[in-house]
């Protein structure tokens, strides 16, 4: 048998290697920006067209390349950054594999222009799919410009695999922000389709964070500084009350390189324990500096995961420093000029002397007096007011309709959300004929009888379904009812969040939102859908942003559908909410008036049935 193994031609090998390094336009952005930083640029410009599908160009004012280097830079394993394997453990540059340019040139049209400071003229090279098409001498400023066009032109499968422009642009912005955050001393600008997306002047770290995430961010930041033998930490965490539904504001940089580390993320999360709600994520922008010898960056093609020699120690130091900072911030405002004025004593209170707290006792109160009516004050403020279990049990047997209904109502008026409640076995209600038609069980399920047995409805999912169909109807027939706000509501978001909301603006309007302004970092709302409480608007929009981000929608995603799902999730009654009889009945009727009553918008069962047979079997 003849020998059959052959070495792959270079351009094929490059194409294969490219698959690892270049997954999408954002990967190209990352590699080019990192090269510019390694070239000691002081200003870097990123130009993107059609979310990188048509053009990605990075222009820097760095040291540039000689004609020979320019040609060599496109060869695989051609790098100026390391010479030997030992160098891998003392890295001070972003790149070191010498793979990026070769990979990019294998799957795109690339035009490079570069000039050394000391030279009069520069070099221009054009490459298409690893083929050098032209090399010329050009007049060009000091530094390097690399334009990447028609990405994946020779791999249609990869091109088709790309997501919608919105999604790809989101990834590009993510990479841009990561690099820009790690280097506040470099000027960065970004243009997309001829409009300027970011313009970040040279600044300190705090200003860089604020320039990227919006001016409102400033008041959210708590500084974290720590220096030990093995680790130096500097940066910020977000105050607990600003914790977000999304994980978009979580950044670790190790020696100025953005990295992902679930383990270290956990350290931060545990430092925030007890300070933020379940399901919320703390913001952090933390720079860790360690000895390059103690980390291995060469474990992942995109270099975003690294291996630490002593992860456990880093975890402990990180957790302790963040806790310490949060503690300081809680007890006394941090002594810096950016401190939060809100923490100061209001001026009008400064001169006032504190009065001693007094305890007020209702001396007339007799807990054993049966017909005792709680005084108005107690009814509102007391946390010890309980629905009397005795009366409840009585009513379970006696079934005095009017009394029962009355009680449910008056109780719901004084009920506090956090108040533990002594529930009767069932919250039971009567229909007009005095027959029991629905029960609420555990403040979670509505139980209703049907001819063939029993229906157990999950109140949260059922309500989601009802709201979802209602929202879809309103958005499609465009006739939502809006409630005018007395005072316009101003909400701050980062410019990327605003861009995201902008895509959904029309749909939001169809649900009843009225926007007076839609600016760079702020929106002004003058009307909201009827069922949306004003106090929740901000949470609802945040949830929406988070849902859109997490969905990573593909090109055929429907903004309307996503919006309806997200809003119905935010607005639906939750488990734990007690419902009046009328509410229960309304819920059941509305659910069965839906087109698809049996599943929630996310395809989970809204109810189950238990037939008489099912019961009979249990009693055999
Ligand atoms: P790596 O960054 O891993 O060395 P690349 O393929 O990204 O590999 O780049 C190859 C080489 O080309 C780099 O080592 C560097 O010498 C040179 N180079 C790339 N981009 C630039 C740039 N913007 N300015 C100056 N030199 C560059
Ligand atoms: Mg590189």
Task: Supply the CATH number for residue 72's domain.
Answer: 3.30.565.10
- Based on the fold, state whether residues 142 and 239 are members of the same structural domain: no
- Based on the fold, state whether residues 34 and 157 are members of the same structural domain: yes
Is 616 inside a domain boundary?
no
Query: Is residue 400 predicted with pLDDT exceeding 60?
Result: no
Residue that is last in its domain, among 328, 352, 383: 328
| Confidence tier at 244 by pLDDT (50, 70, 90) | confident
DSSP state, 617? H
Query: Is residue 393 predicted with pLDDT exceeding 60?
Result: no
Mean pLDDT of the chain: 80
Residue ranges of E strands in 382-511: 427-430, 436-441, 445-450, 453-458, 482-492
- Looking up tokens 């009553």 gives 597
Query: Is residue 236 predicted with pLDDT exceeding 90?
Result: yes
- Based on the fold, state whether residues 498 and 554 are members of the same structural domain: yes
3-state secondary structure of 57: strand
Determine the distance separating the centroid of ligand 2 and the alpha carbon of 217, expressed in angstroms. Answer: 32
Q: 141 CB under 6 A from ligand 1?
A: no
**How is residue 604 written in tokens?**
């989970």
Percent of the chain residues topping a pLDDT of 70? 81
**How is residue 535 written in tokens?**
């106090």
Determine the distance separating the centroid of ligand 2 and the alpha carbon of 185, expressed in angstroms. Answer: 20
Counting from 1 in the atom list of ligand 1, the atom nearest the Cα of 34 is: 2
* pLDDT at position 417: 37
Largest CA distance in the chain: 107
Q: Which of 21-30, 200-209, 392-401 has the lowest mean pLDDT?
A: 392-401
- Tell me the ligand closest to 66's alpha carbon: 1
Interatomic CA distance for residues 512 and 97, integer angstroms: 53
Best residue among 40, 74, 101 to mutate for probing ligand 1's pocket (most ligand atoms within 8 Å of CB) is 101
Q: Considering only CA atoms, which residue is closest to atom 14 of ligand 1? A: 79
| Confidence tier at 435 by pLDDT (50, 70, 90) | low
* pLDDT at position 267: 93
Higher-pLDDT residue of 212 and 330 is 212
CB atoms within 10 A of CB 468: 24
Is 356 inside a domain boundary?
no
Counting from 1 in the atom list of ligand 1, the atom nearest the Cα of 78 is: 10
Interatomic CA distance for residues 453 and 360, integer angstroms: 53
Query: Is residue 302 predicted with pLDDT exceeding 90?
Result: no
Determine the distance separating the centroid of ligand 2 and the alpha carbon of 100, expressed in angstroms. Answer: 5
Q: Considering only CA atoms, which residue is closest to atom 7 of ligand 1? A: 100
Residue that is last in its domain, among 276, 307, 328: 328
Best residue among 21, 29, 38 to mutate for probing ligand 1's pocket (most ligand atoms within 8 Å of CB) is 38
Q: 115 CB under 6 A from ligand 1?
A: no
- Based on the fold, state whether residues 514 and 446 are members of the same structural domain: yes
Query: Is residue 426 predicted with pLDDT exceeding 50?
Result: no
* pLDDT at position 110: 97
Best residue among 21, 35, 106 to mutate for probing ligand 1's pocket (most ligand atoms within 8 Å of CB) is 35
Q: Considering only CA atoms, which residue is closest to atom 23 of ligand 1? A: 36
**What is the arithmetic mean of pLDDT over 73-83?**
84
Domain span at residue 227 reads 205-328
Tell me the β-bridge partners of 609. 455
Q: 99 CB under 6 A from ligand 1?
A: yes
Say if residue 212 is exposed, middle or buried (CB neighbours under 10 Å; 0-12, 13-18, 19+): buried
Is 387 inside a domain boundary?
no
Counting from 1 in the atom list of ligand 1, the atom nearest the Cα of 64 is: 25
- Based on the fold, state whether residues 449 and 585 are members of the same structural domain: yes
Counting from 1 in the atom list of ligand 1, the atom nearest the Cα of 104 is: 6
Contacts 24+ apart (CB under 8 A), 121-129: 122/64, 123/65, 123/66, 123/67, 123/70, 123/71, 125/70, 125/71, 125/74, 127/74, 128/153, 129/11, 129/105, 129/153, 129/154
- Based on the fold, state whether residues 40 and 134 are members of the same structural domain: yes
- Looking up tokens 């806790």 gives 323
Query: Is residue 70 predicted with pLDDT exceeding 60?
Result: yes
Give me the DSSP letters along 191-249. Answer: EETTEEEEEE-S--HHHHHHHHH-GGGGGGEEEEEEE-SS-EEEEEEE-GGG-BSSSTT
3-state secondary structure of 23: coil
| Confidence tier at 344 by pLDDT (50, 70, 90) | very low
Is 58 inside a domain boundary?
yes
Is 408 inside a domain boundary?
no
- Based on the fold, state whether residues 79 and 164 are members of the same structural domain: yes
Q: 144 CB under 6 A from ligand 1?
A: yes
Tell me the β-bridge partners of 254. 257, 288
3-state secondary structure 579-595: CCHHHHHHHHHHHHCCC
**How is residue 382 written in tokens?**
């007391």
Q: Which of 194-208, 213-227, 275-289, 300-314 has the lowest mean pLDDT?
A: 300-314
**pTM confidence score:** 0.63
DSSP state, 372? P
Is 209 inside a domain boundary?
yes
Q: 464 CB under 6 A from ligand 1?
A: no
Q: What is the CATH number of the domain that holds 566?
A: 3.30.1370.100
Determine the distance separating the centroid of ligand 2 and the alpha carbon of 165, expressed in angstroms. Answer: 25
Is 66 inside a domain boundary?
yes
Interatomic CA distance for residues 458 and 575, integer angstroms: 8
Q: Pseudo-torsion of CA 490, 495, 498, 499, nearest 10°?
A: 160
- Is 25 in contact with 172 (CB distance < 8 Å)? yes
Residue that is last in its domain, among 313, 328, 343: 328
Determine the distance separating the centroid of ligand 2 and the alpha carbon of 34, expressed in angstroms. Answer: 6
**How is residue 353 written in tokens?**
């002397």
Say if residue 422 is exposed, middle or buried (CB neighbours under 10 Å; 0-12, 13-18, 19+): exposed
Q: What is the CATH number of the domain that holds 228?
A: 3.30.230.10
Interatomic CA distance for residues 384 and 101, integer angstroms: 70
Interatomic CA distance for residues 545 and 567, integer angstroms: 11
**How is residue 341 written in tokens?**
């004025």
- Is 140 in contact with 113 (CB distance < 8 Å)? yes
The closest of 580, 279, 602 to 467, measured between CA atoms, is 602
The closest of 420, 451, 455 to 441, measured between CA atoms, is 455
Q: 37 CB under 6 A from ligand 1?
A: no
Query: Is residue 233 predicted with pLDDT exceeding 80?
Result: yes
Tell me which H or E stretch contains 467.
helix 459-477
Using DSSP bridges, classify how beta strands 514-518 and 522-529 pair: parallel, antiparallel or unpaired. antiparallel
User: In which order are the strands placed within the sheet that holds 427-430?
Assistant: 427-430, 436-441, 445-450, 453-458, 607-611
- Based on the fold, state whether residues 537 and 596 are members of the same structural domain: yes
Q: 61 CB under 6 A from ligand 1?
A: no
* pLDDT at position 552: 53
**How is residue 100 written in tokens?**
């990026």
Query: Is residue 26 predicted with pLDDT exceeding 90?
Result: yes
Number of domains in the chain: 3
CA distances from 346 to 82, 220, 342, 515, 536 (A): 59, 20, 8, 33, 27
Best residue among 79, 99, 107, 122 to mutate for probing ligand 1's pocket (most ligand atoms within 8 Å of CB) is 79
- Is 138 in contact with 50 (CB distance < 8 Å)? no
- Based on the fold, state whether residues 46 and 118 are members of the same structural domain: yes
- Is 567 in contact with 471 (CB distance < 8 Å)? yes
Interatomic CA distance for residues 440 and 442, integer angstroms: 7
- Is 590 in contact with 567 (CB distance < 8 Å)? no
- Based on the fold, state whether residues 453 and 564 are members of the same structural domain: yes
- Based on the fold, state whether residues 164 and 291 are members of the same structural domain: no
Q: Considering only CA atoms, which residue is closest to atom 17 of ligand 1? A: 73
Is 426 inside a domain boundary?
no
89-123 per-position pLDDT tens digit: 777 888 777 889 999 999 999 999 999 999 999 99
Counting from 1 in the atom list of ligand 1, the atom nearest the Cα of 80 is: 14
- Based on the fold, state whether residues 39 and 151 are members of the same structural domain: yes
Determine the distance separating the centroid of ligand 2 and the alpha carbon of 44, expressed in angstroms. Answer: 15
3-state secondary structure of 134: strand
3-state secondary structure of 499: helix
- Tell me the ligand closest to 58's alpha carbon: 1
Q: Considering only CA atoms, which residue is closest to atom 13 of ligand 1? A: 79
Q: Which of 425-429, 488-492, 538-542 has the lowest mean pLDDT?
A: 425-429
Q: 65 CB under 6 A from ligand 1?
A: yes
């Amino acid at each position: 048998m003849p020998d059959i193994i052959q070495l792959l031609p270079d351009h094929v090998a490059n194409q294969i290697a490219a698959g690892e390094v270049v997954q999408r336009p954002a990967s190209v952005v990352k590699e080019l920006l990192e090269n510019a930083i390694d070239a000691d640029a002081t200003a870097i410009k990123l130009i993107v067209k059609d979310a990188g599908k048509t053009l990605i160009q990075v222009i820097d004012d760095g040291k540039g390349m000689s004609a020979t280097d320019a040609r060599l830079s496109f060869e695989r394993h051609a790098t100026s950054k390391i010479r030997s394997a030992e160098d891998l453990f003392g890295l001070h540059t972003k790149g070191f594999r010498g793979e990026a340019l070769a990979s990019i040139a294998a799957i795109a049209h690339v035009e490079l222009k570069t000039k050394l400071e000391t030279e009069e003229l520069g070099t221009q090279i054009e490459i298409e799919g690893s083929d050098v098409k032209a090399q010329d001498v050009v007049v060009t400023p000091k530094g390097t410009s690399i334009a990447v066009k028609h990405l994946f032109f020779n791999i249609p499968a990869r091109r088709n695999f790309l997501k919608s422009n919105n999604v790809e642009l989101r990834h590009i912005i993510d990479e841009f922000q990561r690099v820009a955050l790690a280097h506040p001393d470099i000027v960065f600008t970004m243009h997309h389709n001829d409009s300027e997306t970011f313009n970040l002047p040279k600044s300190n770290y705090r200003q860089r964070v604020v320039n990227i995430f919006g001016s409102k961010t400033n008041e959210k930041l708590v500084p974290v500084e720590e220096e030990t033998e093995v680790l130096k930490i500097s940066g910020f965490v977000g105050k607990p009350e600003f914790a977000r539904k999304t994980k978009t504001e979580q950044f670790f940089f190790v020696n100025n390189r953005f990295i992902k580390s679930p383990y270290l993320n956990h350290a931060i999360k545990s430092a925030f324990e007890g300070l933020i709600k379940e399901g919320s994520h703390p913001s952090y922008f933390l720079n860790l500096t360690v000895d390059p010898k103690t980390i291995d960056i060469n474990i992942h093609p995109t270099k975003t995961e690294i291996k630490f020699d002593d992860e456990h120690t880093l975890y402990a130091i990180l957790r302790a420093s963040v806790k310490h900072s949060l503690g300081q911030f809680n007890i006394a405002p941090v002594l810096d000029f950016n401190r939060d004025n809100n923490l100061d004593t209001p001026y009008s209170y400064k001169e006032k002397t504190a009065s001693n707290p007094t305890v007020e006792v209702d001396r007339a109160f007799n807990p054993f007096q049966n017909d005792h009516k709680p005084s108005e004050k107690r009814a509102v403020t007391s946390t010890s007011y309980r629905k009397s279990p005795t009366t409840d049990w009585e009513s379970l047997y006696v079934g005095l309709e009017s009394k029962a209904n009355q009680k449910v109502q008056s109780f719901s008026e004084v009920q506090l959300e956090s108040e533990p409640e002594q529930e009767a076995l069932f919250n039971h209600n009567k229909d007009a004929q005095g027959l029991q038609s629905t029960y609420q069980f555990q403040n979670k399920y509505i139980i209703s009888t049907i001819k063939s047995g029993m229906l157990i409805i999950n109140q949260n999912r059922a309500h989601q379904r009802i709201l979802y169909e209602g929202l879809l109807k309103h958005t499609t027939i465009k006739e939502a009812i809006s409630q005018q706000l007395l005072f316009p509501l101003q909400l701050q978001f980062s410019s990327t969040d605003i861009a995201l909301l902008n895509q959904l603006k029309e749909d939001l309007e169809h649900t009843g939102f009225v926007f007076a302004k839609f600016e760079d970092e702020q929106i002004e709302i003058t009307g909201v859908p009827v069922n949306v409480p004003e106090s929740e608007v901000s949470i609802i929009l945040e949830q929406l942003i988070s849902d859109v981000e997490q969905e990573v929608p593909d090109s055929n995603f429907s903004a309307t559908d996503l919006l309806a799902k997200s809003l119905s999730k935010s607005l639906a009654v939750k488990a734990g909410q007690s419902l009046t009889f009328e509410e229960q009945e309304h819920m059941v009727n509305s659910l069965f008036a839906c087109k698809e009553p049996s599943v929630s918008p996310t395809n989970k069962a809204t109810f189950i049935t238990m037939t008489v047979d099912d019961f009979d079997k249990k009693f055999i």
